[in-house]
Structure 1
Amino acid sequence: MVFGPVLDVRPLFRQEREELLGLLRSLSREEWSRATVCPGWDVHDVVGHVLNDYVRRISGSRDGFGGAVFANDETLPSYLARTNDEFVRAARQCSPELMVELLGHLGPELDRVWESFDLTGPAALDVSWAGPGPSPAWLDIARDYTEFWVHQQQIRDAVGKPGADRPELVHPVLDTFLRALPYTLREVARPSGTAVRVVVTGPAGGTWCAVSDDGSWRMGDGDPAATVTMRPDDLWRLATRGITVAEARERAAVQGDPALTDAVTSLLAVVA
C-alpha cells in the first residue's frame, strides 16, 4: 500500500488530552493571552480551534452532520481558514474554565467515535497532504492525533512549558507525517526501485523509506539513493511549517541524490 502499514493511534488520544488539560489548568489569565506561532491567534484561540476540531468530528462522524458548506469557488484551504476563524472568534466569548470543561467532557465521546471506525475502511475525511484520492480511516484518525499534539506543542512553546514529549506520544506524530513521503516525492521521477530514506534521531525517532514504483512512490524498503537525517523537533516543525524549508535544510544532514533530498526537506503535512 502507498501509505505503508496501518498505524493505530487511538489509545493515545486520552494520554495526549490528559497532558493538554493538565497544561491548560496550570495557565494564568496572562498566559492564556500569549501569542502563538499561529498568525493572529493567542493561546485561547488555539484552544478554541482544538475545541472546534472536537465538535466538528463528533458532529460529522457520529451524527452525520455536514456542517458549514463551501462558498462559491472556495478552495479547501480557504474554506478551512474561514470556518476555523469563525469558530475561534465565537469561542472568544467562552472562559478558559469553560473551554477546559468542554474539552474534558467531549474528549471521551470523541474517543468512542474513533473506536467505531474500521481502521482499514475509508476515511471520513481524506488526508489531502498524503495524496489525492481516498485515504484509509487509520490515516484520517492519525492525522487528527497529530493536529491535537502539534497544537498542544504550540501552546507549550507560547507559555514556555515543555511537555507531552515522551517517545510514545511523539513517535506516532513523526510516523504519520512521514506517510506523506510518497506524495512529497511525486514530482521527482526515478527508475522503479529507487529508494529514499529518512532517519529521525533520538528515542522518538526511527527510519522510514519510500520507493519509486512504476512512475509513482510508495512507502517501502530499498537501498537508498538518498538519505535525510533530522531531529524530531525539526521534522514535525517542518511538516507543519513551524520552521521554513530553508531552515530545515540547514539543520538536516543529507546524502545522495540532491533532487530527492530537496523534495524530502520540503515535506508538508498540513493543508496550506
Structure 2
Amino acid sequence: MSQQPPIVTLPLFSKLDERLLAFLRGLSAEEWEQQTLAPRWRVMDVALHLLDGNLRTLSMLRDGYFGVPPTGDLGSYQGLVGFLNQLNADWITATRRLSPAVVMQLLEQSGQEYSAFLGTLDVWAPAAFSVGWAGESESLNWFHIAREYTEKWHHQQQIRQAVGRGEAELLQPELYEPYLQTSMRALPHHYRNVAAPEGTQLRVVVESPESSYQWWLRRGAEQWTLGNEAAGQAAASVYLDAHVAWRMLSKELDAQTAAKCVRAEGAAWLAEPVLSLTAVMA
C-alpha cells in the first residue's frame, strides 16, 4: 500500500461532475459523435463509460452486487485488462440506444449518489480494488478514491479535446494537480526494473502557464521512492507540457510521439522510461 501522504480528491468530484454536465449540455448533435483519442470511442461512448463507472460502483461496492461473473485469468494484469475491456465494450453496445438527454439525466442522478457513497468510505480502510497501475496488490480507500478521480478527470478531458474546446478548464491547478499527483504515484512501480546506483534521482516536471509541478524519483537501497523535494542533484530531468502529460498518462500518446513532445536533460537512459509511463488499466 502507498506510504506517501494521502491525496484528498473527494471534495472535487461534485465540481468535476458539474463541469461535465455543463459541457455536455452545450454539445451539438454532431459533437456527440466526434471521435475521441480513444480509437473505438466517440464522445457519446465516453459519456456512457462515465455513466457505467457510476452505476457499477454503486452496484458492486454499495449494494454488493457484482452481476457478471469474472472470466479469464484475473490473476494476471493482461487477464484483468481483457475482462474489463470486454465489460466496457458490452456496456457501450447495449446503451448506445440511449439519447444524449437520457444519458445526461442518468449522469446527474448517479453522480450524486456515487459521490455520496464514496463519502461513506473509511479512507484508511483497505479498498475493494487495488490500484494496479501503481503496483499495489492492496490499496487504501483514499487511493482508490483518488484513482477514481483520475478516471473521471481524464475521460472528461477526452470529450473536451475531441470537440476542440474547453480543455483548459480542467487544466486549472485545483482540478489538474490532484490528477497529476495521483497519476505520478505510478512512477516507482514503472521504474522497478530500472537499475541505478543508490541515490540516483530523476526529476519530472509538468509545465503550464498557470503553474509548474515537479516530482523527484530517488533510488534507495532496494527500490525507487517518490517525493516532491530534491535530496541532491538530478541525474536526469524530464519536462512535459500540461497538454501533453495527461495524454501520455492515459495511454493516448505512444512513446515515439511523446518523445517529440517531451524535453529531457541529463542521462537519456534514466529519462526514457518516462515516455511509456501510464496511470490507467490498459
Instruction: Work out whether residues 121 and 136 of structure 1, in 8 Å CA contact, stay in contact via their aligned partners in 2.
Output: yes
Q: Distance in 2 between matches of 1:213 and 1:43?
A: 44
1:260 maps to 2:245: no
Long gaps (5+) in structure 2? none
- 1:120-139 Cα deviation digits (max 9, x unpaired): 32222111111142122222
Instruction: Work out whether residues 198 and 209 of structure 1, in 8 Å CA contact, stay in contact via their aligned partners in 2.
Output: yes
Q: Kindly report which structure 2 residues correspond to 1:1-272, keeping only aligned pairs within 5 A, or say none.
A: 2=2, 4-73=4-73, 75-162=79-166, 163-202=169-208, 203-220=210-227, 221=229, 222-223=231-232, 224-272=234-282
Q: Distance in 2 between matches of 1:204 and 1:140?
A: 26
Pick closer, same or farther for the CA change 1:3–1:254 going to 2, 3 Å: farther
Identical counterparts, % of pairs: 38
Q: Distance in 2 between matches of 1:146 and 1:216?
A: 25
Instruction: Work out whether residues 174 and 205 of structure 1, in 8 Å CA contact, stay in contact via their aligned partners in 2.
Output: no
Q: Distance in 1 between matches of 2:236 and 2:142?
A: 28
Local SS of the residue matching 1:265: helix
- 1:211-257 Cα deviation digits (max 9, x unpaired): 22222112134222221111112111111122111222222221222
- 1:85-107 Cα deviation digits (max 9, x unpaired): 11111111211111101111111
TM-score between both structures, scaled by the size of structure 1: 0.94
Instruction: Work out whether residues 2 and 218 of structure 1, in 8 Å CA contact, stay in contact via their aligned partners in 2.
Output: no
Local SS of the residue matching 2:137: coil
Pick closer, same or farther for the CA change 1:204–1:101 going to 2, 3 Å: farther
Instruction: Work out whether residues 129 and 271 of structure 1, in 8 Å CA contact, stay in contact via their aligned partners in 2.
Output: yes
TM-score between both structures, scaled by the size of structure 2: 0.91
Local SS of the residue matching 1:71: coil
The Cα RMSD (Å) is 1.7
Local SS of the residue matching 1:97: helix
Q: Distance in 1 between matches of 2:162 and 2:137?
A: 36
Local SS of the residue matching 2:38: coil
Pick closer, same or farther for the CA change 1:178–1:3 going to 2, 3 Å: farther
For this pair of structures, how many residues does the alignment match?
272
Q: Distance in 2 between matches of 1:112 and 1:157?
A: 29
Local SS of the residue matching 2:30: helix
Amino acid of the residue matched to residue 109 of structure 1?
E
Shift of 1:3: 5.3
Q: Distance in 2 between matches of 1:87 and 1:105?
A: 19
Local SS of the residue matching 2:111: helix
Instruction: Work out whether residues 118 and 145 of structure 2, in 8 Å CA contact, stay in contact via their aligned partners in 1.
Output: yes
Instruction: Work out whether residues 2 and 139 of structure 2, in 8 Å CA contact, stay in contact via their aligned partners in 1.
Output: no
Local SS of the residue matching 1:139: helix
Amino acid of the residue matched to residue 31 of structure 1?
E
